[in-house]
Structure 1
Amino acid sequence: MRAKRAKKYRKIMNTYQLHYSFREPYQVLITSDCLRAIHAFSMPIHQFLENTLHGKVMPYITQCTLGKVMEGYSGKGRDGRPKYLPPPTEVPLRYCKHKDDEGQERGVIPEAECILDLIGGQAKGNEQKKNKQHFVVAAADWDEGIKDAKEKETAAQQRRKRLKMGKPDVDVRDHARVIPGVPIVYVKRSVMILEEPSLATERAIRGVEREKYKDGVGGAARGVKRGREDSEDEDDDEDRAGGAKVRGLQKARGPNPLSVKRKRPKMSADVGQVTTDDGSQPANKSKTKRRRGRRGKGTGQHVDGAENVDAVAVEAESS
């Protein structure tokens, strides 16, 4: 596979992983036409599917697909099993149960209807079909891989006969594109191709992104974190908006009390009395510091005002 195509396929699968929760190993439903094309071009199933989907795969065939493959074969002898039917160890059988409107099992049904029923989740009424089981559909054209001209003409006659009887063959890929989130792989001339996401898939992705945009950038992630703040500010927002809460309005908050400079008490006219802004004296009066005098140059004693100077002079005369 070329690097450009591999990069494109990897990007497509990343889209399904991101928006539709696809995980490895991918469950691949293979149709009978795809089995015939894979065998005709000698393509190893696991290797080509893993290279196309860029991950581990688990291929399956349904009971209804097996019933279509075994049409015209007795199951015994040399021609009892078609050559393009892989062994159960390579492609296991997936059991499918189809029920009608009354809840009764229908048994084996046409292959296309079976696969569409599995990937559609058996929706009822007007319910939107969803690929809940995360299936990948691998299909091919009805004449892909038929190299013999006689076999191809026989297959074309059978298709025309079913069309006249009012039972035309249903194209699985056309109906699978209507269901969002269904990766489609098909074989064309010994090349396995992964289709781009269908219009239904892209429309569903745009709808989800539109809902996220309405909630705001990171709305889903910050919903839990902002829940407490919204509940605290609910009353203020209602009063401000006139009743209903308006998104985006925030409560006006004051400055951080730790960053505000404290008000200093004012000194009153009376010396030694400290008053606050309202005129009252604080409960705890701060003690005034005792002022120490300067040391004398000759005596080495403290001089504290005029009284200390007289004391020093008296002591000098007596000595």
Structure 2
Amino acid sequence: MRQKRAKAYKKLMGMYELVFGFRQPYQVLVDSGMCMSAQDHKIELVKQLETVLQGKIKPMITQCCIVELYKLGKERQPAVDLAKGFERRKCNHREAIDGNACLKSVVGDTNKHRYIIASQSQELRAELRKVQAVPLVHIKMSVMILEPPSDETIRVKAELTQEALDVPEEEKKELPSTAPKEAEFVAKPRRKAKGPNPLSVKKKQPKLPMISPRPQPQRLDTLELKRKRDDEDGDVREDGAPKKKRRRRKRPNESESIHTTVEQNTIEERDT
């Protein structure tokens, strides 16, 4: 079975359970035509019924329907064997009558015992659609189908739902009134203006003591310093021409002086 069809059948059986009180295992009344169709299409009738009805079932058959199968002869012996495995439903008919009339009498006007009818007879199904809460099952092209609820079933369901929602007048008087009371006007105090968020405000910096700046030495220009040095060294002649600078001797390091003294001593010793 396809998922979409299985979901629709489960929803439909849930409606029968919730509104009309159907319970598992479902009581399924099978007629002779359904037994023969199951044998012709090689369908496992009980297993397929459980799949369509989405639950456990209790297959049942009346004595009048079994008599119909006996009258068909040995050709329908497999259908008779299948029907013998079902539970017998007493129809209280002393003499066997037509199977459709038998099932209709068992269901009655209100389907008090909550039967599900599995029948291949279109006449029987048309008659049972006039009765409230009668799920109908039949086989079409080797596919088992659960019919949608009839108009009578939908009408009764709407009435039951409305009765459940309505409250009697006596109970309405006992219930407390739900009308809104006239609220007295109360002046609400005005809200004071709030300051800024203290977490979002920048903290104030502490004031540091004023420090006087250090006096900076007066800088002379590089040219003036150079002229001053030249005047002190006497590098300028009387005619204004610059004198040649004398090369200053570098002072020897201590290591060099020691080395020279050692060499002089060695030379003197040789001479002596």
Task: Give the alignment's TM-score, normalised by structure 2.
Answer: 0.60
RMSD over aligned Cα, in angstroms? 2.8
Of 74, 91, 96 in structure 2, the residue corresponding to residue 108 of structure 1 is: 96
1-structure distance, mates of 2:7, 2:98: 36
| SS class of match (1:85) | helix
Matches within 5 A, 1:108-147: 108-120=96-108, 129-141=109-121
Residue 214 of structure 1: how far off its partner (Å): 2.7
Tell me what 1:71 maps to: 71
Q: Which has the higher helix share?
A: 2
- Are residue 172 (structure 1) and residue 124 (structure 2) matched? yes
Tell me what 1:84 maps to: 79
2-structure distance, mates of 1:92, 1:214: 42
- Are residue 93 (structure 1) and residue 45 (structure 2) matched? no
Stretches of structure 2 that go unaligned for 5 or more consecutive residues are 182-272
1:54-84 Cα distance to aligned partner (Å, 9 max, x none): 00011111001011111143xxxxx386222
Relative to structure 1, the CA distance from residue 3 to residue 87 in structure 2 (aligned partners, 3 Å threshold; closer, same or farther) is closer
- Are residue 194 (structure 1) and residue 146 (structure 2) matched? yes
1-structure distance, mates of 2:48, 2:72: 29
Residue 31 of structure 1: how far off its partner (Å): 1.1
1:9 partner letter: Y
1:155-201 Cα distance to aligned partner (Å, 9 max, x none): xxxxxxxxxxxxxxxx1101111110100000011100000110010
Tell me what 1:212 maps to: 164
Number of residue pairs matched?
Answer: 180
Residue 107 of structure 1: how far off its partner (Å): 3.0
Relative to structure 1, the CA distance from residue 191 to residue 64 in structure 2 (aligned partners, 3 Å threshold; closer, same or farther) is same
Matches within 5 A, 1:1-319: 1-73=1-73, 79=74, 82-87=77-82, 90-98=85-93, 106-120=94-108, 129-141=109-121, 171-215=123-167, 230=174, 249=177
Relative to structure 1, the CA distance from residue 250 to residue 28 in structure 2 (aligned partners, 3 Å threshold; closer, same or farther) is closer
| SS class of match (2:77) | coil
2-structure distance, mates of 1:91, 1:116: 19
1:111 partner letter: G
Residue 37 of structure 1: how far off its partner (Å): 0.6
1:126-173 Cα distance to aligned partner (Å, 9 max, x none): xxx21111100001158xxxxxxxxxxxxxxxxxxxxxxxxxxxx110
Residue 248 of structure 1: how far off its partner (Å): 6.9
CA contact (8 A) 2:31 2:119 kept: yes
Kindly, what percent of the aligned residue pairs are identical?
32
1-structure distance, mates of 2:127, 2:176: 45
Relative to structure 1, the CA distance from residue 250 to residue 49 in structure 2 (aligned partners, 3 Å threshold; closer, same or farther) is closer
2-structure distance, mates of 1:212, 1:94: 34
Residue 20 of structure 1: how far off its partner (Å): 0.8
CA contact (8 A) 2:61 2:83 kept: no
2-structure distance, mates of 1:44, 1:80: 19
| SS class of match (2:113) | coil
Relative to structure 1, the CA distance from residue 184 to residue 81 in structure 2 (aligned partners, 3 Å threshold; closer, same or farther) is closer
Residue 90 of structure 1: how far off its partner (Å): 2.9
Residue 52 of structure 1: how far off its partner (Å): 0.2
Please say which structure displays the higher CA radius of gyration: 2
| SS class of match (1:60) | strand
2:111 partner letter: N
2-structure distance, mates of 1:93, 1:186: 20
1:115 partner letter: L
Residue 94 of structure 1: how far off its partner (Å): 2.0
2-structure distance, mates of 1:194, 1:58: 17
2:146 partner letter: L
